[in-house]
Every structure is written in C-alpha cells, then in structure tokens.
Chain A
Amino acid sequence: MLRFILTRLGLVIPTFLGITFLTFLLIRLVPGDPIEVRVGERGIAPERLAELRREMGLDQPLWQQFLDYVGNVLSGDLGTSLVTRNSVLSEFATLFPATLELAFCAMLFSVLIGLPAGVLAAVKRGSWFDHGVMGLSLTGYSMPIFWWGLLLILFFSVQLGLTPVSGRLDLLYYIEPVTGFMLIDTLLVGETDAFWSALRHLILPTIVLGTIPLAVVARMTRSAMLEVLSEDYIRTARAKGLPQRRVIGLHALRNALIPVVTVIGLQVGTLLGGAILTETIFSWPGVGKWLIESINRRDYPALQGGVLLIATAVIAVNLIVDLLYGVFNPRIRHAR
C-alpha cells in the first residue's frame, strides 16, 4: 500500500512542474511586455523600464526566470494582483472556500441523485424509468449550464420568488469568516436565520453546477451496474438466497462503485471549470468569478496564480481519488 501511494505521488510531480511551466509561459505569451502591460497607456521612460526589467528579473535568460518562478511558487509567492495590490495567494485563499462549498454541494447533489437513479435504471433496464433517466441525463449532459442557470433564476427566483437571485447571503447578515464555509460559519455563531439564508442562496447554484456531473454519474452508474449484474458472483449471491436489496445494494453496488468513484473524481475538474460560469451567473464570490474579473481587468498575475492554484487543487483531488481507488478495489490494494 505504501509503495502504491509513493508511485502515485511520483507521477504527480512532473505533472505539477508541467502546469507550473504552462502558467509561467502564460504571462510571456500575452502580447506585449509584462511591464508595458502594467503601466498601460500612460507610457514609461526607457531608463525606468530597464530598471524595472532588472528588478523583476526580466533581463535574465528564460530558463533562469523559470527557475526563479518555480522557487517563488514553492515558497508560496505567487505575485501580487495588479488591481488590488494584494498577494494573489491570500486573495485566492479568501475566495476559494466559497467555490469549494459550492463545488462540494454540487458534488453531493449529483451523487445523491445520480447514484440511486443509475442503480435503479440498471435494475429496471428497458423500463420507462430507465429510458427516462437516460434521456434526462443525456439532456443534462448537453445542457449549456449558463443558460440553464438563467432559466432557473427566471422560474424560481423571478416568477415564484422562492430563491434569491445572486450572492451567498442576505445583506442583512454579516458573518465573520472562520472556516470560509458559509453553512458552517453561520452555525458557529449560532445565527440560524443566516444559515437558512445561506442555504437558500446555495440551492440554485448547486443545481446548475451539479447538472453535468449528475448526468455523468447517473450514466456511469447505470452502465457499471449493468456490467456487474451479469457477473458470475451476482449469480452466486442470488444462489445463496440473499434478499434482492442485499444482492443489488451490497454485492453489485460495491463492485460498480469502483469505476463510478473514478468518474466522480474526474468530475472535480469539470466542477471547478463549471464554477467559472455558475459563479458568473449567480455573482457567487468565488475564484471562478474572480478569474473572469481578472481577465477583464487584465490582471495577469492574478490569472496566472489562480490557474496554477486551481490546477493544483484538481491534481490533489485526482491523487486522493487514485488513493481511494486503492481502498475501494482490493485487487489494487494487494497488488505486489
């Protein structure tokens, strides 16, 4: 098991370095000199430009600059935002919990609905329920989620007035961030009303962000279950006279979960990507909205740092999923 973990860790390092290189290149690929981009249209004296270049190490050869960048990244220095003059890392850190909370809820939503729906569709294969689930999940998979979000706002917020249109919390409340997760922080200070407000703000973004993962989880669960249900060991379980729910819910599901967990892990990337759209629609104060704003403000250091950090988060989650896979699949756990 230890060896398994070490191998996986070893594979992650080159990927991380590659991402670092990519984000390093990013800022060089932007048309124009980084400093000229900074000073914008005001212009700058040539002497001052040379001085700044030297200060920022831009006169060094590219490989030297890259090494410096990697050194900075590893020591936690991701540069400062051109707009707010804050450290990119600290800006990211204050916004990331909002994204994480949303992504977590969306994942929960998709698994809680997608898994049972997929299992039931497989068990009732060929029924109207099966066709319905498959049809809906293909539609969900094809959904332009930015439009889907607008439709939901139009119906639930505007027409029915059930849910708020945007933000994380009513302006009535102010909650000092402790964990950064609104649902937890409101409870920590004992503000139940604020908790309900936070929950109501979460509902629509959760549905919108969770739609595609929901479709993927339902489809994957169904096909994994269909495959498992035709296995010999399911026949054995039936031959033992086990109740149907034990055969399906334990013997079959346990095996079907192995590919499903992998797919769920892969959806984390989709979720963080989808957060860009969802947060923009719902004015959700997370890193997705922040990235788009950074692009619009030409705040390239923020964009660079943000991309690197999101990529790191995705890599970390995928690593955890890989390790979980070992826990879920005894054959891998005991290999060698």
Chain B
Amino acid sequence: MTTETQSAATPATTPAPGRPPHPLAEFWYHFRQNTGAVIGLAVIVLIALTALTAPFVAPHDPNIQYRDAILVPPVWQDGGSWRFLLGTDDIGRDMLSRLIFGARLSLLVGLIVVTLSLAVGLALGLTAGFFRGIADTLIMRAMDILLALPSLLLAVVVAAILGPGLVNAMLAVSVVVIPHYARLTRAAVLAEASKDYVVASRVAGAGRLRLMLVVVLPNCLAPLIVQATLGFSTAILDAAALGFLGLGAQPPTPEWGTMLSSSLQFLQSAPWVVTWPGVAILVTVLAFNLLGDGLRDALDPKLKR
C-alpha cells in the first residue's frame, strides 16, 4: 500500500514530466514547501542587510554616550522618546544602534567560525577517510577526546588560555566544533568511496588528490552544508555565552552577549537593556536553525517524512 501512495506522490514532485528538473530547481521546490525555513532565510537576509548597511541604518553611533539620556526606556513606555527607539543603556548609548552593530559582529563570528572549523574539519575528515590506517585512528581518536569534553567547557578553557577577546573567543568556538565536521566528512567519504563512480574514476587513472577533491568531495557536500548552517547558530550562541562570561568580546564592543553581561545590574530597574540583546541572539539563532532544518529536508528528500 505504500507503493500506491508513493507512486501517487511522484507526479506532483516532478514539475516537468519527461525531463528531469535541474537539481537547483528541485532543491528550491522542496525548500519552498517548508514555511519555517523560508522565514528563517528571510530573517537571515534581513539581518545580513542590516549588518552590511549598519552605518547608514543605525540612528546613532553605537559608542556615543548621551549623558542627558541615561537609561531612557523604549519609545512605547512612559518616558520613552522617538530619539531612542529601543531606549538607551546605563551610559546613554542607543540600544538599537548597538544591536545593529552587534549584528555585524555576530554574523562575522558565525562566518569566521564556520569557515575556520569547516576548513580544518574537512581536511582532517578527508585525510582520515582517504588514507585510513594510522592517520585515521589518530585523527578520529583526537576528535573523540575533544568531543568527550562539554563544548562550552572546552570553549571556556581555550578562551581562558588564550585570554579574553573576540578573536580568541572565535578561535575557541572554532576548535570546539571541528570534530563535528571531521566526523561528518569522514563518514561521507567512506560512504562515497566504495561507490561505483569512484572506483570507475580510480580505474580511469584519477590521482588521489583529484579523487579526493574533484570526485568525492562534491558528493559529500549536502550534509556539510546543513552542518555549516547549523554551525552558524552554535557559533553565535557560544560566542555570546563567552561574551556573557567575560571571556569573549570586551566592553565597549557592542557584542550581544557582552552587552547583556555589562548591564546585568540594571535587570530590575531597566529590563530593556537586558531584554533586547537576548531577543537579538534568540531570533538570529532561531533563524539559522530553521534554515538548517529546511536545508536538511530539501537536500535529502529521502530523510523527509
């Protein structure tokens, strides 16, 4: 009976009968089905645009202290003014502008962490998967050891050794997530390497490097793309946590986690200084998670239920 239902669904999923749809078109078709993912993508695009145009969009300089306007509440509360839409912090800086500039930092953190960890993880995973033997054992045991430590603890320790700061926090978070990429790559390489098309190109005389980078790698990309998207959210979250613990970006950098921790004592008197950075983190991370989930479903329709 499942056969009936499956054959029933086929005509709907193939837009143009007879001609297989372009892979990208097919991907987009599946992706569009997932409302959450589309919303996630839209939010990310919006945040990215805001971050890129921050100097033009932000109403104020994020570091200017308006001494006449300390702890002004958001515009819809008593005492709020249109001058500071989301209010000001304890030394009179505009919250909205700081949040907008914070978006730059958070996206940058995500981008750098993902690039760095993906590159290292990919290299390690490819090496382990292709050369097997002792390289494989050594690399994968090392990854296991890193995975045995709780990720935030490891990040805290690395940041503590390197010293506080945004760059060091990014390094710390990158180190922590490397094992995920390495494991994923290795598993994908092992799964692909035994397939006929790889054997065929090996028989045809393809060199090891070519096999690795040109033949196998493109076919392992789908899970890595998904992991990279989800990696943005962990990177942003962990970097913010380090900032909150005082091990990440240092004041007066408008990093969301740092903003939160430096205004903790105003939690009761001026909740907005604590609320907005958290909302910003949550919305951004949620958007990346929604997008990642959607990508997983769209890139691997087999897994979709």
A residues bordering B, Cβ < 8 Å? 14-15, 18-19, 22, 26, 29-31, 135, 138-139, 141-144, 146-148, 150-151, 153-154, 158, 223, 226-227, 269-274, 276-277, 280, 291-292, 295-296, 303, 307, 310-311, 314-315, 318
Q: Are A303 and B157 in contact (CB under 8 A)?
A: yes
Q: A314 to chain B: which residues have CB within 8 Å?
A: 148-150
A273 x B260 contact (CB < 8 A): no
Contact B241 A146 (CB under 8 A): yes
- Residue in B closest to A139 when the chains form the complex, CB atoms: B286
B233 on the A face (CB < 8 A):
yes
How far does the Cβ of A11 sit from chain B's closest Cβ, in whole Å? 9
Chain A residues, Cβ within 8 Å of B268? 154, 158
Bound Cα distance from A269 to B244, whole angstroms = 20
Size of interface on B: residues with Cβ below 8 Å to A: 44
Tell me the minimal C-beta distance from A123 to chain B in angstroms. Answer: 14
Say whether B73 faces chain A, with CB atoms less than 8 Å apart.
no
A14, A148, A270, A296: the one within 8 Å of B150 (CB): A270
Chain A residue at minimal CB-CB distance from B290 = A138
**Assuming A26-B157, A26-B161, A154-B267, is B150 touching A310 (CB within 8 A)?**
yes
Which residues of B pack against A, CB within 8 Å?
36, 141-142, 144-145, 148-153, 156-157, 160-161, 163, 233, 237, 240-241, 244-247, 257, 260-261, 264, 267-268, 271, 274-275, 277-278, 281-282, 285-286, 288-290, 293, 305
Instruction: Name the distance in Å between B12's Cβ and chain A's nearest Cβ.
Output: 18
- A19 touching B156 in the complex, CB below 8 Å, given contacts A142-B282, A142-B289, A144-B278: no
Is B149 touching A269 in the complex (CB atoms < 8 A)?
yes
In the bound complex, CA of A19 to CA of B148 (Å): 8
Given contacts A273-B153, A310-B150, A314-B149, contact A280 B245 (CB under 8 A): yes
Chain A residue at minimal CB-CB distance from B236? A144
A141, A148, A151, A295: which contacts B160 (Cβ < 8 A)?
A: A295
Decide: A273 and B278 in contact? CB cutoff 8 A: no
Query: B275 near A151 (CB under 8 angstroms)?
Result: yes
A223: chain B residues at CB < 8 Å are 305
Contact call B305/A318, Cβ cutoff below 8 A = no
Known A-B contacts: A15-B145, A144-B241, A273-B153. Give 20 more (CB < 8 A): A18-B145, A19-B148, A22-B145, A135-B36, A138-B289, A138-B290, A139-B282, A141-B289, A150-B274, A158-B268, A227-B305, A269-B149, A269-B150, A270-B151, A276-B156, A277-B152, A296-B246, A307-B149, A307-B157, A314-B150
Known: A295-B247, A303-B157, A310-B153. A315 touches B282 (CB 8 A): no
